Amino acid sequence: MKAVNRMITVAVFVFLYIPMAVLAVASCNTGHDIAIFQGFTLSQYTALFRDDSLLRLLGNSLLIAVLSSVLATVLGTVTAVGLHGARGRLRRAVMTLTNIPMTNPDIVTGVSLALLFAFAGTMLKINSILGFWTLLIAHITFNLPYVILSVLPKLTQMDPDLQEAALDLGCTPLQAFFRVVLHEILPGVISGLMMAFTMSLDDFVISYFVTGSSFITLPVEIYNYTKKPIQPKIYALFTLMFLVILILMVTMNLLQAHDARRRERKRGMRA
């Protein structure tokens, strides 16, 4: 049975990562046909970094990803702390509302936000309201639940006596949070930050509905490339984006594993 499970696991991973392997090979191909490998070259990467328009769009995506992930992490951490202290119906109601954006289809979220921004633009008498700020608000909105659900388990695992001890030793509630609570939940905060960054960086569906002509992100512009033959330098761009996200995910998993080992050592010392 174990052998069958291993074979299924290997088959799933092969199915998931073969397309990325094909993409990486195509980015180093001297020819334009991805089915025929004519020779190895890095000229597509050179062409990518010489394309000012693509780099500008990549800069837009990175700007939105960094700002939205940082703001969502701050708001999500504060919300998680508030939820941790809440009890009863209020906690259940807020948790249900928090989970809705995660289960909601992206296209429904995108259309809903677009209608909301259009309504706000009509009320404020702004003709072209869609742009940088609407995109940033949308990304913060769909990133928040991931941050909250990354921080809440760490708050639950934390020893509540630590904060009480800090208060007894003269810390104000704010000092106790930054010196004790934040230190204990930091792995969850970092995991939420990385998750929010990756979700924001590769989002297309929601961004497509809430962005304007004045500020366009890379995934939205790449959609236009699919309507015509894709240039090989786009393969190089996809490969680099995949590697960045892969490194972030591996780092996040390593941090979580390190935090789990640290907590096991603490339990062993107490025992």
Residues in the chain: 271
Spell out the long-range contacts of 246-249 with Cβ–Cβ below 8 A and sequence spacing 24 or more: 248/194, 248/197, 248/198, 249/194, 249/198
- Rounded CA-CA distance 260/266 in Å is 10
pLDDT in tens, the chain (271 residues): 777 788 888 888 888 888 888 888 888 888 777 767 778 888 888 888 888 888 888 889 999 999 999 999 999 999 888 888 777 787 788 778 877 878 888 888 899 999 999 898 888 888 888 889 999 999 999 999 999 988 988 888 887 778 788 888 888 888 888 888 888 888 889 889 988 998 898 888 899 999 888 888 888 888 877 766 777 788 888 888 888 888 877 887 787 777 777 777 766 666 5
Looking at the DSSP assignment, which residues form a beta bridge with residue 40? Answer: 29
Give me the DSSP letters along the chain. Answer: -HHHHHHHHHHHHHHHHHHHHHHHHHHTBSSS-TTS---B--HHHHHHHH-HHHHHHHHHHHHHHHHHHHHHHHHHHHHHHHHHH--HHHHHHHHHHHHHHHHS-HHHHHHHHHHHHHHHHHHHT-S---SHHHHHHHHHHHHHHHHHHHHHHHHHHS-HHHHHHHHHTT--HHHHIIIIIHHHHHHHHHHHHHHHHHHHHT--HHHHHH-BTTB--HHHHHHHHTTSPPPHHHHHHHHHHHHHHHHHHHHHHHHHHHHHHHHHHHHHHH-
How confident is the model at residue 267, as a pLDDT? 67
Residues 6+ apart with CB under 8 A from 253: none
* Closest to 130 (Cα-Cα) out of 244, 215, 22: 215
- Rounded CA-CA distance 257/264 in Å is 11
How confident is the model at residue 77, as a pLDDT? 92
Six token digits for residue 60: 């837009």
- Rounded CA-CA distance 81/21 in Å is 42
Instruction: Tell me which residue has tokens 């259940």.
Output: 92
Six token digits for residue 117: 């921004």
How confident is the model at residue 268, as a pLDDT? 67
Six token digits for residue 41: 């070259």
- Rounded CA-CA distance 83/91 in Å is 6
How confident is the model at residue 202, as a pLDDT? 82
Provide the CATH number for the domain formed by 52-232+241-270 in this structure: 1.10.3720.10
Instruction: Tell me which residue has tokens 């940033």.
Output: 136
How confident is the model at residue 270, as a pLDDT? 61
Return the ∠ at Cα 213 (arms to 210 and 218), rounded to 5°: 75
- Please answer whether residues 189 and 182 qualify as being in contact, where contact means their C-beta atoms are separated by less than 8 angstroms: yes
- Please answer whether residues 129 and 120 qualify as being in contact, where contact means their C-beta atoms are separated by less than 8 angstroms: yes
